[in-house]
Structure formats: C-alpha cells, structure tokens
C-alpha cells in the first residue's frame, strides 16, 4: 500500500472513531462523515437540532495534500495529531494548518506545509 492510500485509510479510521463521541445522541441530530478521496478532503460534522438550538458544525476537517495530512480543524481530545502519531504517522507528515503559517515554523518537528 502506498503512503497516500495508507494515510487515507488512517484518516477514515479516525473520523469513524469519533462518531458519537462529541455530542449526545438526539432524535434530530446526525453526525456525517464526508469523504472526498479524489480531492483529499475529509470531514466529520454534526447537523441537526439540540432542542431549540441549531447544530451545524465541523468537529474534524483534514486534508491530504501530497503526502502530508493537513489538520484544518480539530475539536477533539486528545487531538487528531496525537492519534495520527499513535498510528505511526511522523510529525514531519502532519501540518497543523489551524495555526498561521508563521507560527507553524515554531512548532517543533511538525511540517510547515
């Protein structure tokens, strides 16, 4: 299995692992995993209602650009970067894209972009 295909598999595993973890089950609430292998976009989002409050938000958004995993959004604990590392992805292949480009240079061992 090539690196990109392997990373796609790991990303999907992480997204599915988080379904149901961040929001209690509700009748009019759904968590959606959105996978676009062709363009390298991967999202876990919640859609629906929590009582009178509309819920529509992304808890995880990852992009696969070349052979690097870009973490665009991560509202999980302990964090997708840590999960990726535990699955064998080196920090040098992870971009913490939710940080400004000038700040990424200051974060030890992670990819800048």
- Choose which CATH entry (3.40.50.720, 3.30.310.110, 2.60.40.420, 3.10.20.310) describes domain 3-104: 3.30.310.110
* The pLDDT of residue 85: 97
* The pLDDT of residue 89: 97
* The pLDDT of residue 23: 57
Q: Can you tell me whether residue 67 is helix, strand or coil?
A: coil
Which residues share a beta bridge with 62?
Answer: 42, 71
Cα 17 to Cα 104: distance, rounded to the nearest angstrom? 27
Q: Which residues of the chain have pLDDT under 50?
A: none
Which residues share a beta bridge with 53?
Answer: 50
Q: Strand 41-50: give its sheet, edge to edge.
A: 29-36, 41-50, 53-65, 68-74, 94-95
* The pLDDT of residue 61: 98
pTM for the full predicted model: 0.90
* The pLDDT of residue 45: 95
């Amino acid at each position: 299995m090539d690196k990109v295909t392997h990373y796609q598999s790991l990303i999907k595993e992480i997204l599915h692992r988080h379904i149901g973890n961040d929001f209690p089950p509700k009748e009019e609430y759904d968590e959606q995993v959105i996978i676009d292998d062709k363009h390298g976009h991967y999202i876990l989002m919640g859609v629906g209602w929590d009582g009178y409050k509309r819920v529509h938000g992304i808890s995880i958004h990852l992009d696969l650009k070349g052979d690097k995993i870009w973490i665009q959004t991560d509202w999980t604990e302990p964090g997708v970067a840590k999960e990726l590392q535990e699955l064998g992805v080196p920090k040098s292949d992870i971009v913490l894209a939710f940080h400004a480009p000038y700040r990424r240079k200051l974060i030890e061992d992670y990819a800048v972009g």
